Amino acid sequence: MIDAELIPEVAARFKALSVEGRLALLSALQRGEKSVGELAEATKRSQPNVSQHLASLTHAGLVEARRDGTRVFYRIADPTVLRICDAVCDSLVARARGHQRQGIEARRRRRAGGGR
């Protein structure tokens, strides 16, 4: 259940996750911390674009930064976000398999003359 008092914060997290570029960054970060340059290379995005997305993810509490001299490294701050993404991916795969099974069954019925 979603706690009614937390709805604005929950919405902010889902908003942060609603952009493909941010999901691509989280995907790259699940293998460990990276600099903006490394993230730009891994996601094939410009450094300014990566920086904007990292700011949104940081603001939502999903990513955190660590400075090492002149470089800044980012890592996932809340591993729960990976479980959320895994759950959504698993759901999409299951749904696709269900649609595939339905298509196979429909083709069988058509071949057997029992359906449209």
CATH of the domain at 19: 1.10.10.10
Sheet holding 71-76, edge to edge: 34-35, 71-76, 63-68
Query: Are 7 and 23 in the same domain?
Result: yes
Q: Which residue has the tokens 């069988």?
A: 108
**pLDDT exceeds 90 at position 21:** yes
Residue 115 banded pLDDT, cuts 50, 70, 90: low
pLDDT (tens digit per residue) in 57-104: 999 999 999 999 999 999 999 999 999 989 998 999 988 887 777 767
For a pLDDT cut of 90, what percent of the chain falls above it? 74
Amino acid residing at 47: Q
Q: Where residue 51 falls among pLDDT bands split at 50, 70, 90?
A: very high
Task: Give the list of residues 6+ apart from residue 2 with CB closer than 8 angstroms, or none.
Answer: 10
Query: How many domains is the chain built from?
Result: 2
Burial of residue 93 (CB within 10 Å: 0-12, 13-18, 19+) is: exposed
Domain of 23 in residue numbering reads as 1-78
Q: Give the model's pLDDT for residue 74.
A: 98
Q: Is this model's pTM higher than 0.85 or not?
A: no
What is the reported pLDDT for 43? 97
Q: Are residues 57 and 110 in the same domain?
A: no
